[in-house]
Structure formats: C-alpha cells, structure tokens
Amino acid sequence: MELSKKYHKDFGGIAPEAEILLKNHTWKGNIRELKNIIERCVLIEDGPILHLNDLGLATKDRRKTAPSAPDAGVLQTLPDEGVDLAALEKHLIMEALKKAGGNSRRAADLLKMNYYTFRYKRKNIEGLQ
C-alpha cells in the first residue's frame, strides 16, 4: 500500500468495525479529511491493522451521550476553596491507568477521552510517562 511504503510501516488494512465507522461517519470535509485520518493512524500506530479506537472518531461520538459531571458523580459542587484541576486530572488519569492495568487505550475509554488527547495529557503530567 502507498502509505506502508511512504512511512516504512507494515500496514495491513482496516478492521471491519473501523471500516463501518469510516463509512457511516459524517465527513465535514471532503475525501482529504478521510485520507488525513488514515495517514495519521498509519504514521502513529504500531500495529498492522487500524482498529476502531485508533481512529479517534468513536470516542468523540460516545462523548455526546456520556453523562454530565453531576450525573457521573465526579464533582457535584465546586468547593468554596476551589479545586486544583491539574491535581484532579492527574489523579483521574492515574486511577484510570490503574483500573485499566496500564493500558492507555482502555484508560482513555474509561475517561471518555480521545486516545490521542489522553496520551498527550499523560505525557505532560509530571511523573507520568
């Protein structure tokens, strides 16, 4: 395949569930948007097959139906003294990683977060690599 040669990767194709999502997704742009997503995934991912979570589209769609913070029981009210948001985020990322057995993809799913956003946040949290 063209992208395999371009990036020297062993890209073998797209998993059926990912292909269905790509076909059913509402594309705001043109075919270039689709090509850019595929190219980004081939470049970033290690495996030969692109899966549903690799695309970054499924988590966006799930987030639309995810419960809001009060329904999720995360933080019902803001305390008068405020909240250290960075510490809270670090705590939640660490808890998600622990619950997911260190699997970043599963941890991102637990937080209803795009995998690439999760990876970025994890990388930028001091002490987490």
Q: Per-residue pLDDT tens for 51-91?
A: 877 787 744 444 333 443 444 445 567 777 877 888 888 88
What pLDDT is attached to residue 82?
79
Model pTM above 0.85: no
Which of the four pLDDT bands, split at 50, 70 and 90, describes residue 129? low
CATH class of 1-55: mainly alpha
Answer whether residue 22 shows pLDDT above 50.
yes
Q: How far is CA 124 from CA 63, 72, 86, 102, in A?
A: 23, 25, 11, 17
Which of the four pLDDT bands, split at 50, 70 and 90, describes residue 36? confident
Query: Looking at residues 44-50, what average pLDDT do you find?
Result: 79
CATH 1.10.10 residue spans of the chain: 70-129
Pair of tokens at residue 61:
């769609």
Is residue 34 within 8 Å of residue 22, measured between CB atoms? Answer: yes
Give me the percent of the chain exceeding a pLDDT of 90: 5
What pLDDT is attached to residue 50?
81
CATH 1.10.8.60 residue spans of the chain: 1-55
CATH of domain 70-129: 1.10.10
What pLDDT is attached to residue 74?
53
